[in-house]
Chains A and B, each alone.
Chain A
Amino acid sequence: MKIDKNTINKIARLSRIKLDDKESEDYINDLNSILDWVEQLNEVNTENVEPLSNISSSILPKREDVSNDSNSIEEILENAPDKLEGFFAVPKVVE
């Protein structure tokens, strides 16, 4: 078994998703069966194969180096759950 209780807790922590015990159990099972299934890729010989990360055949285009002013503070903050004096507000992080 690749994913045990410790591993699921570690991944959940890295993902910043709180899981209860029941969910942890379910995800341990789900993830193990998915990982077992994807392991068939080990049958494929990929020696000397370059990984493909970007399928786009186009070359990154350049743009004119001019400033633009498309983002306003009001617009950016418009959907914020909590804001204060032009900033996003979050729970206190220092005592």
Chain B
Amino acid sequence: MSKSSLKQTLKDLEAKKISIRELNQDYLKRIKENENLNVFIHFSEDNVLKQIENLENDNSAKKLKGIPIAIKDLFCTKSMPTTAASKILENFNPTYESFVTQKLLDEGSIFVGKTNLDEFAMGSATNTSFFGNTINPLSKENEPLAPGGSSGGSAAAVAADLCLGATGTDTGGSIRQPASFCGVVGIKPTYGLCSRWGIAAFASSLDQAGIFSHNVEDASILLQSIAGFDQRDSTSAKVDIPNYFENLDDDLNGKTVGIPKEYSIDGTPMEISQIWEEAIKVLEKKGVKIKNISLPHTKYALPTYYIIAPAEASSNLARYDGVKYGFRSDEINSLDEMYENTRAQGFGREVKRRILIGTYVLSAGYYDAYYLKAQKVRKLIADDFNRAFKECDFIVTPTAPSAAFPLNEKQNDPIKMYLNDVFTVPASLAGLPGISIPFGKDKNNLPLGIQILGKHFDEQQVFNAAVSLERSYE
């Protein structure tokens, strides 16, 4: 299936080969044909038509004018409800616009809908959503596959060609892993590059917005559009945002790639080791120096993450109490009962599990043993990367330990589900930028992904390496 790129579409719109209306009606048609995938939590054709009309009456030049974009339903949007895929926000209509979506609106993009995700972005298969599973568009008829998660709806929207790009958020791999499962490009930039203002918070020291697209060039265009400083997010970085697209350079001659030995994990399917080796070979041919590096604390990244993320989540999700917004239980004989019933009925199982574990590791007597310990190991993990990046310009690894798995697999074993993030979590803990690009297929012809990690705020190097690998693979 050949899909048009955002870059080409912008040219076609400019040359008037196609109108904004024609373009978007094409996408509307496909969205309606693919309803069975359950990609969107909110989709309204009228809303899209209204946006088209507004742009038709707007004569100003805009960078993304008329481009159909899907928005993960974790970003607050004024024109559409925002649920975080949770019953507790089922009827929430934000009165403000998130930083990222405002930037996209300012540039003239059209929001086709709000995409499905794991409830509050907690999951790796988009199967904890209150609004049901999303189905990976690459599924065979008799065996529905998971799109990955948590941004599974956004990854699937791009894969099924229901938009030209989509927003996602990545806390431990929630952009890169679904991108790998759905055979699309997904980038999580450096922590702090995009403002988190207006994104429902999960784990604030890790959450970061990013982009899904059909190819690396498109990702470079879209990331530039959503990045930038914002004083309403105190962790937002004051850095200059380069024109990633204009600066794209696939000549990697003289660069050094780090290959971390700790990412060879027992039990990883042969095909994944093979595409990893293949990527290294391609880079070598391009004049890239191969450097074997060591990130010794890699195996502790997942347990560290599964202390820190739930701890922060338990604190962030305290705001959902049935008072200020969202769902409130009917069984409310007292204030305490209202809180307890609202949260019991409003949150799903995985969210409750993480709130409980987070509350435990932060509670008196256990804080030092779990939370503080995890923060110390996190420092060692970040130091590993700092040391490695003295010897290399970027790092290449597989994105996920498997291709897309059947929808109902791994449902009942939380730890097994957590292992999906084994290759993505370390960079999240260190706040580094990472991209996943499709690279090779497994024996069932399902896409596999290669992950490229860069230094803090060196998204340009990540894009350059990605575009180089992508062009050699096509």
For window 33-92 of A, CB contacts with B under 8 Å fall at 33-35, 37-44, 46, 49-58, 60-61, 63, 75-76, 78-82, 88, 90-91
CB < 8 Å neighbour of B415 from A12, A33, A82: A33
Inter-subunit contact A16/B237 (CB<8 Å): no
Inter-subunit contact A41/B431 (CB<8 Å): no
| With contact pairs A16-B339, A60-B234 given, residues A80 and B325 touching in the complex (Cβ less than 8 Å) | yes
Q: How far is the CA of A35 from the CA of B311 in the complex (A)?
A: 13
Q: How far is the CA of A81 from the CA of B90 in the complex (A)?
A: 12
| With contact pairs A16-B339, A17-B352 given, residues A54 and B205 touching in the complex (Cβ less than 8 Å) | yes
B residues lining the A interface (CB < 8 Å): 91-93, 95-96, 191-192, 205, 229, 231, 234-239, 297, 299-300, 303-304, 306-307, 314, 318, 321-328, 332-341, 343-344, 347, 352-353, 355-357, 359-360, 363, 370, 372-380, 382, 414-415, 429-431, 456
Specify which chain A residues have a CB less than 8 angstroms from the CB of B338 in the assembled complex: 90-91
Could you show 6 A-B contacts with beta carbons less than 8 Å apart? Answer: A30-B414, A38-B374, A46-B377, A55-B205, A57-B431, A93-B335
Q: How far is the CA of A48 from the CA of B319 in the complex (A)?
A: 35
Specify which chain A residues have a CB less than 8 angstroms from the CB of B377 in the assembled complex: 41, 44, 46, 49
Closest-by-CB residue of B relative to A74 is B95
Q: How far is the CA of A63 from the CA of B236 in the complex (A)?
A: 13
Closest-by-CB residue of B relative to A57 is B456
User: Number of A interface residues, CB 8 Å?
Assistant: 52
Q: How far is the CA of A40 from the CA of B355 in the complex (A)?
A: 21
Q: Top 4 A-B pairs ranked by shortest CB distance?
A: A51-B375, A55-B431, A79-B325, A81-B328
CB < 8 Å neighbour of A91 from B95, B314, B334: B334
CB < 8 Å neighbour of B380 from A3, A31, A46, A53: A46
Specify which chain B residues have a CB less than 8 angstroms from the CB of A93 in the assembled complex: 334-335
Specify which chain A residues have a CB less than 8 angstroms from the CB of B379 in the assembled complex: 49-52
Inter-subunit contact B335/A11 (CB<8 Å): no
Q: Which of A16, A39, A46 has the most CB of B within 10 A?
A: A16
Q: Is A6 an interface residue (CB 8 A)?
A: no
CB < 8 Å neighbour of B237 from A43, A58, A80: A58
Specify which chain A residues have a CB less than 8 angstroms from the CB of B191 in the assembled complex: 55-56
Q: How far is the CA of A16 from the CA of B317 in the complex (A)?
A: 11
Q: How far is the CA of A46 from the CA of B353 in the complex (A)?
A: 28
Inter-subunit contact A18/B297 (CB<8 Å): no
| Closest beta carbon of chain A to B89's beta carbon, Å | 9
Specify which chain A residues have a CB less than 8 angstroms from the CB of B429 in the assembled complex: 55
Q: How far is the CA of A20 from the CA of B338 in the complex (A)?
A: 16
Binary contact track A1-43/B, C-beta < 8 Å → 1, others 0: 0010001101110111111000100010011011101111111
| Closest beta carbon of chain A to B375's beta carbon, Å | 3
CB < 8 Å neighbour of A63 from B231, B321, B343: B231
CB < 8 Å neighbour of B355 from A15, A33, A41: A15
Specify which chain A residues have a CB less than 8 angstroms from the CB of B415 in the assembled complex: 33-34, 37
| Closest beta carbon of chain B to A49's beta carbon, Å | 4
